[in-house]
Each structure stands twice: as C-alpha cells, then as structure tokens.
Amino acid sequence: MTNHSEKPGPTGNGHIAYEGPGPEHQITLRTPAELADALPYLLGYRPEDSMVLVALHDQDGRGRFGGRARLGIPSSSGDWPSAARQLAHGLITGSERRGAKPAQMVAFVCQEPAPGESGQRVMRRLAPLAQKLRTECGRLDVPVIEAICISGGRFWSYCCPTEGCCPDDGRPMGLPGTSVLAAAAAYAGIQVRGSLKELRARLQPWETAAALEQEIALDAAGLAVVPRILDDDGRAEVAQETLELAERVMRRLADAPFVAGSAAGDLRDDRLITFEEAAALILGLQDRSTRDRAAEWMEGDEAGPALRLWRALARRCVGPYGEHAAAPLTLAGWVAWSTGDDLEAREALAMALGADPEYLFARLLHQACNEGLDPESVRRCLRGERVQRAQAQGPTANASAPSRPDGPDGPEGGEGGKARDGGMDPVGTTGTPGAGRSRSREPHETPPRRRRRTRAGEPGPATAAPDRTRPGTPRPDSTHTGPSRNPGRGRPAAAAKGGTRRGSACDPGADPSAQTTGEDM
C-alpha cells in the first residue's frame, strides 16, 4: 500500500478544496469532475489499475484534505474484500496515529479498459469494489461521501443520485493541464509525473539483448568477488574497492552532459557504466556494511549522482540476479526519501521488497516513509556513525571513505552502521535511531543459507531463478564449501550480504517485526 503525505486544504459548504503551498493557491472543488481531475495532483502521478482513498478531516466546521493511500486492484474479485479492508484500515489507523481520524473519505477506482472492453463496462465491473471500499470505511465510522470510477478517459460517480447528472456512458475527463487546478498547481511549482508504470520502468531490470552480456559479467564477478567477501580479510578489501569504484562512477555521471527526459537520461547513464563495473558494484553491495557505507551519499551534491547510480545498478540485476536488486533499490529509495521524493522512495522500496521480501532495511525504510516520519533522524544517525568511524581510524580515515564528487568533504550521510564482521542488527523495539547491537561472526563461520521466497503480485523482479552452479565453484548461499555437485552457472546469493538479518544501525523508527502487506508494500 502506498500512503501519501498530508496536504491540508480547507473546505466549506460541502465542497472540497485543494490547497497548494500557500493560501493564494487554494482551489475549491465542487463537482465529481473536479475531484476526478484533482486525483493526479493529490497523488503526484496518474494512477493506473488502482484503488485510492483520500481522507478528509474536519477543522472548525470546515474540512481539509488528509492522507492518501493506494493499492493495485487485485486481478481476482475474490481478493477485493480483503484489499478494500486493508486499504481502509491502513489509511484510517495511520491518520489516527498522526493525531486525527478522518471525518470523511473520497474513493477512486481507476482501470483502463481491456481490449474490446468499454469504460462503461469497467465502471460496472468495478462497482462491487467501490462498494467494498465504502463498506470498509463505514465499518470504521468514516463515511465515503464520493466514489468515482475513472476509465478510458471518462469518469462516473457511484454516489450521484441523479441519472441526468451522471449518464451511463460517463462524462469525459478534461484535457490534462487545462483545468484551473492544473494552472494553480503549475503556478505553485507542483509537478505531476507520468504513471507508476513509467516510474517503475526506470528501476526494472533490462529485457534487451544487453541483458545476456550483463548476466555473463555478473557470473564472472561472482566467481571472483563472493569468495573474497566470505573471507574476513578479503571482505574489507572488496568493500574498499566497491566504494572507490562507486565514487569514480558517480563522478563520471555528475560530469555527463544533461539530456532532457528521464528515458534519455537513463540511457545516457547506462552507456557510462560498463558491464564489468556494474557487476562489481552489484556484487560488492551485497555485503551489508558496504551497502551501509554507500548509503552515506544521501544529500547535497552526492545525492543526484548516487540516485542515478543506484537506478542504473537496479536495471543491471538481470536474469537470476533479480534478488540482488534489493540492495541498489533500497539505496535508491533511501536517497529519494532523504531528498524529499516520497513517491519514488515508496516505489523503489516496494520493488526492493518484491526482489527480497526479507530485506530488513527496505522494510524499515518503507514503513517509516509510509508513516510520514522525518528522514532527518536517520540522516543524523548516519552522520554520527561516519564521525565515529573517522575518529576511530584517525587522520587516515578520509583515505578509506569516498569523497564528494564535487568537493573535499567526503560522502554524505546514509544508512549507517560501522563496518564490522557481522554488521549492525537493529533491535527495532524502541524505534530509536541507532538502537542496535553489533553481531560478529567467528572467523570461519559460514553464513547460513537463506530461503528464497516470493509473493504473487509483488512489484519488481521477485521470481525465483533456477539453480545454476559452475563445476568447482563454491556456493556462497549454502554451507557447502567444496566443489559443486551440480554443473551449470553460479549465482552469488545471500551469504555475501554479511548475515541473515540485513538491517541498519540506524533504525528509522519502525518495528522490524511489522508485516508488510499490500501491492505496494
């Protein structure tokens, strides 16, 4: 489930108002047409195949917009009741934790027609889902005052009592960018992105001919890197090499000429990173302490190049290396959240959990982001970790820490945790940043094999890959250290990540035992 931060806007006389950064941007929404037009501005993107709830709060006899939450529409109608219950419960209880239970709710169901299907048929097919949303909100004493279906460029109100007001074939949506709300949003500097599908495409693995060449490079890097990570001395060397390589690539990205458009920019970045560099970075980031150090590029001049690098690496986790995308996707989500882009943060972290549902750091960040917590507490913790590391290493500390691409001050704070044998495991029960304890392995202890699990409907590359191991290649995801019994290609796996719990020393304030549910969690 995607929860969205609150944007208050006073309402009156039964009308709903959208409010921008200041009172001068206040727009009153009076009709279902205006509500349908407002949805992309409330979410920051155009929802597709989604059910959305928007909370309304009462304030001095007037209303204001509250939180928003979205779930993908389950393909099976048998799953609609539980999905509607989850969406309503998540938004209402989340609002209560933030101090105010919603007084009312507006519901949306959005889905494009299938081939040969009309928007009107979609509206009728989704009517039971809209009713489930109304029922579940009503169970929690929050009435739904408007329920709208958007499909095929048209909209319908499920609550309109007058047939002449809402004809069977619906009413056409206004042209994008032509409404008063669009003008007010543009004036206020509010941007509406494309669809979630377009955003996720920037983070999904390649499906081109180049994917095979990248997979071969990952195979070769795995044979060279994973055994070193499993060795105490080699692990520190790999970490150093990974961070230095990441720094060089970030400089290269920062110096690249600007190109317009996200797709063109991603293609430019892909061309600036070789297959071998991407493979070395992906494998190196599977070590938790290395990932923690890499997360320190989280603000200022480093944030932009770092986010571009993590996106590019996520796109390179092809074929059987889909689970490895959890590390770069989590880093991308963290940097996006740290720099104020909650939308990309949620989607990247949700995709990280799709790649590896047990990836603890992604789960903690995703829950904290959905709870609307301030990332500054995490940044402060990470800065403190870096200072402690520098003090422990003395005057030579800067030699082992990546420096700023455009300055001498070194990387920015990121997901912390001192580089220890076993990394830092968050306790997670206090919700306090830094509430963790170190956990070291014995010198010859082989990390246990972690069971791969996938969940249907999870975003991102969550499908398990066939076991392929080269003859004579040790498998780092098992306790077997001798020659492989099964011929084939090797796939470095979870043991290189430095332990079975992949949290961070900086707990963003969420309970790691909390269950993540929903299409976007």
Contact 292, 415 (CB under 8 A): yes
Q: Using DSSP, state whether 410 is helix, strand or coil.
A: coil
Overall average pLDDT of the 227-238 stretch: 88
pLDDT at 163: 60
Q: Are 236 and 159 contained in the same domain?
A: no
Q: Are 160 and 183 contained in the same domain?
A: yes
Instruction: Decide if pLDDT at 206 tops 90.
Output: yes
Residue 132, both tokens:
């489930």
Residue 403, both tokens:
């420096």
DSSP 242-265: HHHHHHHHHHHHHHSPP-SSHHHH
| 447 within some domain | no
Q: Are 226 and 184 contained in the same domain?
A: no
Supply the mean pLDDT for the chain: 74
pLDDT at 164: 61
Q: Are 258 and 302 contained in the same domain?
A: yes
| 189 within some domain | yes
CA dihedral (153, 70, 311, 44) positive or negative: positive
Contact 438, 424 (CB under 8 A): yes
pLDDT class of 381 with cuts at 50, 70, 90: confident
Q: 165 lies in which domain range?
A: 2-194
pLDDT class of 63 with cuts at 50, 70, 90: low
Long-range contacts of 260-269 (CB under 8 A, 24+ apart): 262/198, 262/202, 265/308, 266/202, 266/311, 266/312, 266/315, 269/308, 269/309, 269/311, 269/312
pLDDT class of 264 with cuts at 50, 70, 90: very high
CA dihedral (309, 314, 316, 321) positive or negative: positive
Q: Are 190 and 230 contained in the same domain?
A: no
- Give per-residue pLDDT as tens, 299-313: 889 999 999 999 999
| 38 within some domain | yes
| 437 within some domain | yes
- Give per-residue pLDDT as tens, 158-183: 987 666 667 788 888 866 655 666 66
- Alpha carbons 383 and 391: distance in angstroms, whole number: 12
Q: Are 148 and 253 contained in the same domain?
A: no
Q: Are 188 and 40 contained in the same domain?
A: yes
61 Rama sector, left if φ>0, alpha if ψ -120 to 50, beta otherwise: left
Q: 339: which residues sit within 8 A by CB, 6+ positions away?
A: 298, 299, 303, 307
Overall average pLDDT of the 237-266 stretch: 93
Q: 291: which residues sit within 8 A by CB, 6+ positions away?
A: 285, 327, 330, 331, 361, 415
| Number of residues that this document lists for the chain | 521
* Amino acid making up residue 266: D
| 502 within some domain | no
CB-based burial label for 97 (10 Å; 0-12, 13-18, 19+): exposed
Instruction: Decide if pLDDT at 499 tops 60.
Output: no
Residue 417 CA to chain centroid, in angstroms? 21
Instruction: Decide if pLDDT at 3 tops 60.
Output: no
- Give per-residue pLDDT as tens, 432-490: 333 333 333 333 333 444 444 444 444 443 333 434 333 333 333 333 333 333 333 44
pTM score over 0.85: no
Beta strands in 121-211 (DSSP E): 144-151, 154-157, 171-172
Which residue among 160, 194, 228 closes a domain?
194
Count helices and strands in the chain by DSSP H and E runs: 16, 12
* Amino acid making up residue 76: S
Contact 51, 133 (CB under 8 A): yes
Overall average pLDDT of the 370-382 stretch: 85
Q: Are 178 and 327 contained in the same domain?
A: no
| 36 within some domain | yes
Q: Are 32 and 84 contained in the same domain?
A: yes
Kindly provide the b/e burial profile for residues 130-143, where b requires at least 16 CB atoms within 10 angstroms of the residue's own CB: bbbbbebbeebebe
Which residue among 194, 222, 242 closes a domain?
194
Q: Are 180 and 250 contained in the same domain?
A: no
Q: Are 188 and 204 contained in the same domain?
A: no
Interior angle at CA 48, CA 47 and CA 50, nearest 5: 80
Which residue among 194, 225, 248 closes a domain?
194
Residue 262, both tokens:
């996200």
Q: Are 100 and 187 contained in the same domain?
A: yes
Identify the CA nearest to 87 among candidates 52, 44, 38.
52
- Alpha carbons 433 and 489: distance in angstroms, whole number: 41
What is the largest distance, in Å, between two alpha-carbon atoms of the chain? 78
Other beta carbons within 10 angstroms of residue 98's beta carbon come to 14
- Give per-residue pLDDT as tens, 281-337: 999 999 999 999 999 899 889 999 999 999 999 999 999 999 999 999 999 999 999
Q: Report how many domains make up the chain.
A: 2
Percent of residues, the chain, with pLDDT higher than 90: 40
| 515 within some domain | no
| 257 within some domain | yes
